[in-house]
Amino acid sequence: MNNIKKAFVIIFLSILNGCSIQPRILEDIQLVTSFGYDYAGKDKIKATINMPITPVVENAPPGNQVLTAIGHTSKNIRQILQSRSPKPLYIGRTTVVLYSKTLAEHGILSLINTLQRDPELGRDLTLAVVDGKVEPLLSFHYPWAEVTTKYMEQLLEQNELQNIPKTNIHDFLFRYYGKGADPFMPLLKKKGNEIKIKGMALFKGDRYVGYIPYRKSFIMKLLFENFKSGIYEFKLKKENHVAIENLASKVDYDVQYRGNQPHITINVNLQGKISEFQSTELIGNQLIKSVEKQADRTITREAKNLVHTFQDLNVDPLGLGHKVNNVTPHFNFSRWNKAYADVPIDINVKIKVVQSGITE
């Protein structure tokens, strides 16, 4: 029995030794923190990788090093780039991957599938489309941060908290392979010495088909998920503008059938505070009721227009098909895809002002 135990221990330790994680010393590898792809003609792509560089001079700020190469596949391009790097390239610290709009119009599933199969990469990887070319965006040194990737991370992170729907590679693939929903991701644009979020890029399958501007992204976020933060501005009367801060919003969907056709109602409840009011009027109960009523009307109108835009483009970023499927026995997705553009969708918005600032 003792010999059997000893043999078992030896086998177990051998297995553990074979499965051990190989250590990586930072000084011996070159970290890639962001990269992206441009369209380079039929069956070709151009990859740009961005790497933080620690200067050898003491107290000098870190910088960026950029390498580019053209090839047919991302793996082949990585091999080409490796031939130009003094250290082994390591992509395990990558947080942002970009695709040019032109490339996204041709389809990007093969490039995203490569990412999901790479064990070095995390599942929370952020994907984004670039209106323009990726290379100049990643190659520029921005005054906002010493490292380009950090600038993009902070830009996307703080906007996902306040103004745009949250998404990552896991969400994109879930929507692509699942039924009843279409993928989306942020749309970036380089403007002068800064990067701005232009809006949300919309996909049908893995192909870019259009976008909604940044100013409408807050409405999309209201319809897509519950969150706390963000500012919504609207006109109350004449030249008086009101800015409401979102303290807590909640969205739910109700699906009812009228005959054989589903009827969808999206209910949005938002508690907020008046963060700015361009008027000399005192903020009393009557004015608060007027603000709530006008905010209800304005957001409802913009939300309906946004949903109609989705239907006109035949994309379903809100996942309405998935929600209808959840309450419909023997649901037919083929029939839904044909009927989606004409499905009646009502939107009810209820704004409750619970704070009105220091002037209350």
DSSP letter for each residue of 42-68: TT-EEEEEEEEE--SSTTPPPEEEEEE
Instruction: Work out the number of other CB atoms within 10 angstroms of the CB of residue 274.
Output: 21
Q: 115 lies in a domain?
A: yes
pLDDT band, residue 266 (cuts 50/70/90): very high
Q: Is the domain of 209 the same as that of 240?
A: no
pLDDT higher for 6 or 40? 40
Percent of the chain topping pLDDT 90: 70
Angle CA 157–162–163, to nearest 5:
95
Q: 219 lies in a domain?
A: no
Asked if the model's pLDDT at residue 356 lies above 90, the reply is no
Q: Give the CATH number, domain containing residue 333.
A: 3.30.300.210
Asked if the model's pLDDT at residue 144 lies above 90, the reply is no
Q: 234 lies in a domain?
A: yes
End-of-domain residue from the set 185, 213, 241 = 213
8 Å CB contact between 75 and 11: no
pLDDT band, residue 344 (cuts 50/70/90): very high
Q: Rounded distance, CA 56 to CA 105, Å? A: 42
pLDDT band, residue 358 (cuts 50/70/90): very low
Tokens standing for residue 328:
């419909």
Looking at residue 357, what is its pLDDT?
56
Q: Is the domain of 100 the same as that of 242?
A: no
Of 13-17, 92-96, 342-346, where does mean pLDDT reach its minimum?
A: 13-17
8 Å CB contact between 349 and 323: no
Q: Residue 132, class by beta-carbon neighbours within 10 Å (0-12 exposed, 13-18 middle, 19+ buried)?
A: middle
What Å distances lie between residue 168 and 96, 132, 194, 323, CA to CA? 9, 21, 23, 21
Q: 81 lies in a domain?
A: yes
Per the structure, the complete domain to which residue 245 belongs is given by 226-360
8 Å CB contact between 183 and 175: yes
Q: Is the domain of 240 the same as that of 151?
A: no
Domain count of the chain?
2
Q: Is the domain of 84 the same as that of 109?
A: yes
Looking at residue 5, what is its pLDDT?
56
**Mean pLDDT confidence for 28-44:** 92
Q: Is the domain of 231 the same as that of 289?
A: yes
What Å distances lie between residue 296 and 97, 222, 310, CA to CA? 38, 13, 21
8 Å CB contact between 110 and 205: no
Looking at residue 359, what is its pLDDT?
46
50-56: long-range contacts at Cβ-Cβ below 8 A with a sequence spacing of 24 or more? 50/138, 50/139, 50/148, 50/149, 51/89, 52/147, 52/149
Looking at residue 20, what is its pLDDT?
45
Q: Is the domain of 207 the same as that of 352?
A: no
Which tens digits make up the pLDDT trace of 166-210?
999 999 999 999 999 999 999 999 999 999 999 999 999 999 999
Q: Is the domain of 178 the same as that of 80?
A: yes
Q: Is the domain of 63 the same as that of 182?
A: yes
8 Å CB contact between 97 and 50: no
8 Å CB contact between 177 and 109: no
CA dihedral 142, 145, 148, 153 (to 10 degrees): -130
Looking at residue 258, what is its pLDDT?
84
**Mean pLDDT confidence for 57-76:** 84
Parallel, antiparallel or unpaired: strands 261-277 and 345-355:
parallel
Q: 2 lies in a domain?
A: no
Q: 11 lies in a domain?
A: no
Q: Of 252, 288, 256, 255, which Cα lies nearest the Cα of 268? A: 252
Looking at residue 4, what is its pLDDT?
61
Q: 19 lies in a domain?
A: no
**Mean pLDDT confidence for 121-129:** 89
> If DSSP codes are grouped into helix, strand and coil, which group holds residue 213?
strand
Parallel, antiparallel or unpaired: strands 240-258 and 30-31:
unpaired
Looking at residue 2, what is its pLDDT?
58
pLDDT band, residue 360 (cuts 50/70/90): very low
Give the predicted TM-score (pTM) of the model: 0.89
Q: Is the domain of 346 the same as that of 246?
A: yes
Q: Is the domain of 235 the same as that of 324?
A: yes
Work out the end-to-end distance of the chain between its first and last CA atoms, rounded to an integer number of angstroms.
82
8 Å CB contact between 89 and 73: no
pLDDT band, residue 9 (cuts 50/70/90): low
Q: 18 lies in a domain?
A: no
Q: Is the domain of 36 the same as that of 94?
A: yes
Q: Is the domain of 60 the same as that of 196?
A: yes
pLDDT band, residue 118 (cuts 50/70/90): confident
Mean of pLDDT over the chain = 89
**Mean pLDDT confidence for 218-240:** 91
Q: Rounded distance, CA 152 to CA 154, Å? A: 6
End-of-domain residue from the set 213, 235, 263 = 213
pLDDT band, residue 86 (cuts 50/70/90): confident
End-of-domain residue from the set 213, 247, 262 = 213
Instruction: Work out the number of other CB atoms within 10 angstroms of the CB of residue 267.
Output: 14
Which tens digits make up the pLDDT trace of 322-339?
999 999 988 999 999 999
